[in-house]
Amino acid sequence: MNSPGTAVDRLLVDASGNRPRADARRNVERLVAAARTAVAEVGVDVSAHDIARRAGVGVGTFYRRVPSREALLEAVLEEVLAEVMALADRALADPDPWRGFAAFAAAYVGLRTESCGIGEALGGACGEVFERTLADLRGRVRALVGRAQEAGVLRTDVAWQDVPFLLAAVATADRTVGLAAGERQWERHLQVVLDGLRTPHPSPLPGTPPA
């Protein structure tokens, strides 16, 4: 049986098939929204107390409405990862391979930049919880890269495994060597990376692709 699509639905699954009361659903919706914001700002180590405070409910209500902090975070992160997968599917459906690849790259980096927690989940900080989802995402990245290379619009000496690392490297800190990041800094970085991936006269790459 497939899990419900949204984080709220996943958390409201009742083996008896009973519909939750309206106030129960509202509390879960508030907890999911608060958890998503907290995970973006703090990361996967955010506490139940912090999420409850952001949702405007007590810790007792928190534990009455969700099985655990871990279950709530898993549902929220699974929802966001599903959004990443949908972005990849839309990119693969684009008849222009480069346009699809570039659109996915921008959306992917945007999500990583906006959410500390999604970056941690993509980096494997959640252990084996999202192993299947990440495997599916790797398959889509491989397909996007392969399609663009077959069309002659992405340099063929770049392995598909290089691409997730390149996109992860686009995100930037707010400051470095005494300089403050400019407006749309990560978008500037992404454009440099995309131009480097598309160049018709690349320099030889050192080392080996990621495993």
143: exposed, middle or buried (Cβ count in 10 Å: 0-12, 13-18, 19+): middle
**Low-confidence spans in the chain with pLDDT less than 50:** 1-3, 15-16
What does DSSP say about strands 179-180 and 175-176: parallel, antiparallel, or unpaired? antiparallel
Q: What pLDDT digit, counting tens, does each position of 81-99 carry?
A: 888 999 999 999 999 999 9
Q: What is the pLDDT of residue 15?
A: 39
Cα separation, 81 vs 74, in Å, equals 10
Q: Where are the domains of the chain?
A: 7-71, 77-198
Cα separation, 125 vs 8, in Å, equals 23
Q: What is the pLDDT of residue 9?
A: 77
Element (H, E) at 14: none
Cα separation, 13 vs 109, in Å, equals 32
0.85 surpassed by pTM: no
Q: What is the pLDDT of residue 7?
A: 81
For 126, the 3-state DSSP assignment is coil
- Write the CA distances from 4 to 7, 11, 13, 200, integer angstroms: 8, 9, 8, 45
180 has which bridge partners?
175
Cα separation, 171 vs 168, in Å, equals 6
Same fold, 7-71 and 77-198: no
Torsion of CA 196, 201, 203, 205, to 10 degrees: 70
For 70, the 3-state DSSP assignment is helix
175 has which bridge partners?
180
Domain 7-71: state its class: mainly alpha
Q: What is the pLDDT of residue 112?
A: 86
| CATH number attached to the domain at 77-198 | 1.10.357.10
Choose among 115, 120, 113: nearest CA to 169: 113
Cα separation, 116 vs 22, in Å, equals 32
